[in-house]
């Protein structure tokens, strides 16, 4: 199932647990794995693998899945932070360009220009933030529980700018028939902007570093440096802009899977 590719949104956390691990006796192996706490120290672990436990999976590797986009109608403009702050007071410094406050500001800024929303691409102290405004195929509020069903680690509104939640937006929008997605407003729910006219590519971090030297590690996938790299990479491939969607090796084809089994308070992790 997991090496068939391309990405199938029906392969959810619950499906992986109920149909694969239980159905194929994978829980027996998982329960015999070595348990360690968050500091790497061995601990006793007596919990059972089953439908009522929390099971998550993620992908490891050295690529970032990028959605390169060619919107039919768009506007790119350099917005000064003082202008964006008018749209959201929390977007008050260039260092916050990837914050949820600034994404709310981009959304409102682009609506004011006649578009559905927007995303940043380049940041510098002279020109400010280069924002691309364009129209969505679908925009709506998603519960964090719904997003968690697409990526187990997108489980809190405080993580809406984390790579795990971008993976959830990608899968959430694919499930609705679109190419990918990213967030805009975060309140009690997450406003998700789903787009089409996209082309998904798994790109080595070493290649992205060639477009911006600061994009030199997977842990920087949500950084302004990497967003600049996505922008330049996608332009080089004939597109207008780029956004991260997944993080890890061969994510879209699901060829490499790391299973994490955690207890109710997320303190104990079993790797299988």
Q: Where do the domains of the chain lie?
A: 13-59+254-271
Look up residue 240 and give its two tokens.
């207008």
Residue 39: strand pairing partners: none
Q: What is the pLDDT of residue 144?
A: 97
Q: What is the pLDDT of residues 218-271, one digit of tens each?
A: 899 999 999 999 999 999 999 999 999 998 743 443 333 333 444 444 444 433
Q: pLDDT confidence of 153, banded at 50, 70, 90?
A: confident
Kind and range of the H or E run holding 193: strand 190-195
Q: What is the pLDDT of residue 145?
A: 95
Residue 79 · residue 135 · CB < 8 Å: no
Residue 6 · residue 245 · CB < 8 Å: no
Kind and range of the H or E run holding 230: helix 224-236
Which residues lie closer than 8 Å to 114 by C-beta, 6 or more apart? Answer: none
Q: Does residue 215 surpass a pLDDT of 50?
A: yes
Average pLDDT, the chain: 81
Q: What is the pLDDT of residue 157?
A: 97
Residue 186 · residue 200 · CB < 8 Å: no
% of residues, the chain, pLDDT over 90: 61
How far does CA 157 lie from the centroid of its chain? 13
**pTM (predicted TM-score):** 0.73
Between 57 and 23, residue with greater pLDDT = 23
Q: Which of 10-19, 84-93, 157-166, 198-207 has the lowest mean pLDDT?
A: 10-19
Range list of β-strands (E), 73-116? 74-79
- Coil/strand/helix, residue 34: coil
Q: What is the pLDDT of residue 21?
A: 59
- CA 233, CA 166: separation in Å to the nearest integer? 19
Q: What is the pLDDT of residue 250?
A: 38
Q: What is the pLDDT of residues 10-54, one digit of tens each?
A: 555 556 566 655 665 556 555 555 555 555 566 554 555 555 554
Q: What is the pLDDT of residue 248?
A: 73
DSSP state of 62: S
Q: What is the pLDDT of residues 70-128, one digit of tens each?
A: 998 999 999 999 999 999 999 999 999 999 999 999 999 999 999 999 999 999 999 99
Give me the torsion for CA of 55, 56, 57, 60, rounded to 10°: -130
Look up residue 1 and give its two tokens.
């199932």
Q: Which of 168, 163, 225, 181 has its CA nearest to residue 67? A: 181
What is the largest distance, in Å, between two alpha-carbon atoms of the chain? 59
- CA 40, CA 53: separation in Å to the nearest integer? 21
Q: What's the average model confidence in pLDDT over 125-149?
A: 95
Q: What is the pLDDT of residue 267?
A: 41
């Amino acid at each position: 199932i997991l090496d068939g590719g391309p990405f199938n949104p029906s392969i959810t956390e619950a499906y992986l647990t109920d149909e694969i691990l239980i159905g194929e006796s994978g829980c027996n192996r998982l329960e015999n794995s070595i348990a360690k706490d968050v500091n790497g120290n061995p601990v006793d672990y007596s919990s059972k693998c089953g439908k009522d436990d929390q099971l998550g999976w993620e992908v490891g590797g050295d690529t970032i899945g990028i959605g390169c986009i060619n919107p039919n109608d768009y506007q790119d403009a350099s917005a000064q932070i003082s202008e964006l702050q008018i749209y959201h007071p929390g977007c008050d410094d260039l260092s916050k360009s990837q914050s949820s406050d600034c994404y709310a500001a981009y959304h409102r800024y682009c609506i004011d220009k006649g578009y559905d929303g927007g995303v940043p691409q380049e940041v510098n102290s002279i020109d400010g933030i280069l924002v691309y405004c364009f129209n969505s195929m679908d925009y709506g509020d998603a519960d964090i529980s719904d997003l968690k069903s697409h990526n187990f680690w997108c489980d809190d509104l405080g993580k809406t700018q984390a790579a795990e939640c971008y993976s959830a937006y990608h899968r959430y929008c694919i499930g609705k028939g679109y190419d990918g997605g990213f967030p805009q407003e975060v309140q009690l729910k997450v406003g998700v902007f789903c787009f089409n006219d996209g082309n998904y590519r798994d790109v080595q971090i070493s290649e992205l570093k060639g477009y911006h030297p600061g994009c030199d590690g997977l842990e920087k996938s949500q950084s302004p440096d990497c967003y600049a790299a996505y922008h330049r990479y996608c332009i080089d491939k004939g597109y207008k802009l780029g956004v991260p969607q997944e993080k890890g090796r061969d994510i879209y084809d699901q060829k490499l899977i790391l299973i994490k089994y955690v207890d109710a308070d997320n303190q104990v992790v079993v790797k299988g």
